[in-house]
Amino acid sequence: MKLPHAASLAATFVALSLSLQALDPPPSAAAETPQTRPNIVVIMTDDQDVDSLPVMRHLLSYPEGSWVRFPNSFVNLSVCGPSRATLLTGQYPHHNGVTGNDGKRLNTTNILPVWLDNAGYYTGLVGKYLNNASVSPRHPIPGMDYYNGMEKKRRDVDAYSNAAVNFINNSTDPFFLFLSYKGPHKTAHPPARYRDADAYLPEFRPNVNELDLSDKPAYWRKMKLLSPAQLRMWQQERLNSQRELLGIDDGILQVINALKAKGILDNTLIIFTADNGFTWGSHRKVNKLCPYEECSNVPLFIRFPGQQGNRVDTNVVSNVDLAATIADYAGVNPGIPQDGQSLIPLLEDPGTEWPNEVLLQRHLNSYYGIRTQDWKYIEYTTGERELYDLNADPYEMQSVHGQAPYQAIQSNLASKLAGLRARSSIYGMARTANGEPIVGVTITAGANHRAVTDEWGLYVLNNVPAGTYTLTAAKSGYVFSTRAPISLPPSVVGQDFTGTRVGYSLSGRITLDGQPLAGVTVSDGNGHTAVTNDAGNYDMVNLPPGAYTVTPSLAGYAFSPASRSVTITNADVVNANFSATLLTYTISGTITLDGQPLAGVTVSDGNGHTAVTNDAGNYDMVNLLPGAYTVTPSLAGYAFTPSSRSVSLTNADVGDVDFSATLLTYTISGTITLDGQPLAGVTVSDGNGHTAVTNDAGYYELVNLLPGDYTLTPTLEGYSFDPASATVTIVNAGVIQDFSAI
């Protein structure tokens, strides 16, 4: 988790005084400024192979959690000076110039401590710096505010740890601490409490004292077998090395506890690694500086604040990635081209695509090599080659170079190796004229190379092939300065852009009862609109400076406030928020019969709502949402004009949805027969005062009857009828009722 970049970068290096003794660092001059930027602690051991790790019981317990372990971590050149120079520069040895243990070759005016110091970090080194580099009060380490070389206690690991804790306790600024133990480099010096400890001792690897070196290059085939006495001697040295690591492991825990006690552990990136491995007799060698796993594979543990739990990342990474990682985390622009890539994307998302290729090299008995997840391929300047299938042969005991089944693999790795050696990158930043970072600027180089600036305005284009490129910068609402074309290789830095804001955004959120409301149209009074998304957010972009009246609208809703007046000058406007209230409406009207009110009419809206007219003939359907409705009246015995009405509710009540009623009358009719023949003259009454007489066809008809119940009774002197009477009901249609005379 990266924290906001709080300070601009200074361009001028300022040489600072340092202490050569184990003095407590003084408080920083910026102590009164609240710390917002993250701290960084790098802990490095000297000559530690990965097989030694089980002895580090504290580290392997992942103290305080949030650790990522990289078991496939490698150094490019497996010896002290070049490895440390790569850490400090982010460059391969053949680029930074330190190809052996001669630190004087390094241009120390443009290294990681300088970048951090210029960005406001309080920087310190406890322990080993660079082999054969001259450090004195007259020749301080550039960018390093505090230096304790541990000259008087060079092999006292506890003294290193205590000095580091003192640095942490006395630092008030965001700080960078490089804790660089001299141990467990031979001859090991365990702390007194561990000198006789029964420490974990790794077993010999199968390739120790390898018998057949015929697959190895000529210079390696000269290695002699180690005698049993030599092996015993080195095993004793290795045991002492493990005991010294117990003390270093204690120191790691001390540092973590100090950070925790100060309340800054979760604002501190911690990196633990080693400068190189050690062979301990593998392939007959007891040393480092080789292309094999024992020399180049090193521990790498990173405590990344925000990481949930602990995990193992099997991607292939190397020490050349660490400077870029630290610069990225701190929001610092590297002052020189980086051969490595920041590990921050991997730390944030283990699914991040990663190249999984590491460059290996040496400049005495010279070689260049490539290590991937499954293969290792080495090219020597003598023309000799090595190729190892690391899945089938993890101890590299049988090179398969030049063999027909592996020809395609060897050719592919050779091509990748050439690409690694020639890889170029482009670095720069996008900022405003006053130095503020511009996030989200798309930087392009040609048609196929693109990067986007991060929260500090930084960008890097990696793996750009040789050629000439014109860089462009683009972000909506900005215009950017232009740059002259550049040619690659080599890599280039300082390809910066200055952006001028020409359009701003106006954004906010609209909620209903605390929940996001989507679909609200927001206008600015000047012709610009935006619609809220599912999260209730809206964003009007590319607005020029000026005054705006922001108004939300959605049918069926009222908003508080109804509108907002905002002024854009030279910054985006955010949090122009509104609260919505759901509106309901009424449909009303009057129903009359011959101009007089008609009560008891049921009115429905087609959506499940009803109302009944009162004595004044009025009805009201209330609490209706905006929408379309079909209003229909009904009452038995009546027809209505119109029979229904279509009504739309938007943002107001609808009245005068009126209807006229017509009273409906019906007929009761039938036939009366005697022995199947029509019987005339029969009087039929309905019990309500209405009568009719059958005609010659035996037919009768009672007319103009209202809906209701009727009891029909036929009468004729001298006759009886079946049925004697019949009860019928008129609803909304005539009724037929026949009788038989007896």
Per-residue model confidence (pLDDT) at position 34: 43
User: Which residues constitute the domain of residue 736?
Assistant: 666-741
Please check whether residue 3 lies inside any domain of the structure. Answer: no
Q: Is residue 101 part of a domain?
A: yes
| 361 falls within a domain | no
Q: Is 597 left (phi over 0), alpha (psi -120 to 50) or beta?
A: beta
Query: Is there a domain that residue 244 lies in?
Result: yes
User: What domain count does the chain have?
Assistant: 6
Check whether residue 578 and residue 454 sit in a common domain. no
The last residue of a domain, from among 582, 599, 622: 582
* Residue 661 confidence (pLDDT) above 80: yes
Last residue of some domain: 319, 349, 379? 349
Confidence grade of residue 9 (pLDDT, cut at 50, 70, 90)? very low
Same domain? 608 vs 696: no
Q: Are residues 480 and 412 in the same domain?
A: no
Distances in Å between the Cα of 620 and the Cα atoms of 205, 585, 613, 641, 731 are 92, 10, 8, 18, 27
- The pLDDT tens digits for 440-452 are 999 999 888 999 9
- Secondary structure class of 413 (helix, strand, coil): helix
Are residues 683 and 611 part of one domain?
no
pLDDT over 60 at 59, yes or no: yes
> What span, in angstroms and rounded, lies between the C-alpha atoms of 434 and 46?
44
Q: Are residues 318 and 414 in the same domain?
A: no
Question: Which segment, 217-231, 331-345, 415-429, is predicted with the most confidence on average?
Answer: 217-231
Please check whether residue 17 lies inside any domain of the structure: no
pLDDT of 466 strictly over 90: no
* 387 and 279 belong to one structural domain: no
For residue 414, being part of any structural domain is answered with yes
Question: What's the pLDDT score for residue 336?
Answer: 85
- Helices 228-261 & 157-170 angle (0-180, nearest 10): 20
Whether omega before 489 lies within 30 degrees of 0, making that bond cis, reads yes
Region 633-643 average pLDDT:
92
Residue 236 lies in a domain: yes
- Residues 370/180, Cβ–Cβ less than 8 Å: no
Nearest to 395 by CA among 257, 535, 282: 282
CATH number reported for the structural domain that contains residue 219 in this entry: 3.40.720.10
- pLDDT the model gives residue 365: 84
Residue found under tokens 């998302």: 349
**CATH code at 444?**
2.60.40.1120
Q: Which of 467, 482, 501 is the last residue of a domain?
A: 501
494 in the same domain as 396? no
> Residue 592: which CATH number?
2.60.40.4130
The pLDDT of residue 66 is above 70: yes
Q: How far apart are CA 544 and CA 547, in angstroms?
A: 9
529-568 residue pLDDT tens: 999 999 999 999 989 889 999 999 998 889 999 999 999 9
Predicted confidence at residue 3, as pLDDT, reads 39
Task: Tell me: do 370 and 344 sit in the same domain.
Answer: no
Strands 659-663 and 73-74: unpaired
- Domain match, 189 and 338 both: yes
Residue with tokens 């015993």: 232
Whole-angstrom distance, CA of residue 450 vs CA of residue 446: 8
User: What is the per-residue DSSP string for 549-561?
Assistant: EEEEE-TTEEEES
Percentage of residues in the chain with pLDDT exceeding 70?
Answer: 95
Of residues 128 and 12, which shows the higher confidence score? Answer: 128
448 and 590 both lie in a single domain:
no
Residue 16 is predicted with a pLDDT of 26
76-90, 99-113, 159-173, 727-741: lowest mean pLDDT where? 99-113
Label residues 649-672 b or e (16+ Cβ within 10 Å = b).
beeeebeebbbbbeeeebebbbbb
Is 722 found in the same domain as 634? no
Task: State residue 140's pLDDT score.
Answer: 86
Residue 14 in this model has a pLDDT that exceeds 50:
no
Residue 513 is predicted with a pLDDT of: 95
In a domain, 2, yes or no: no
Cα dihedral value 256, 257, 262, 265, nearest 10: 30
* Domain shared by 489 and 560, yes or no: no
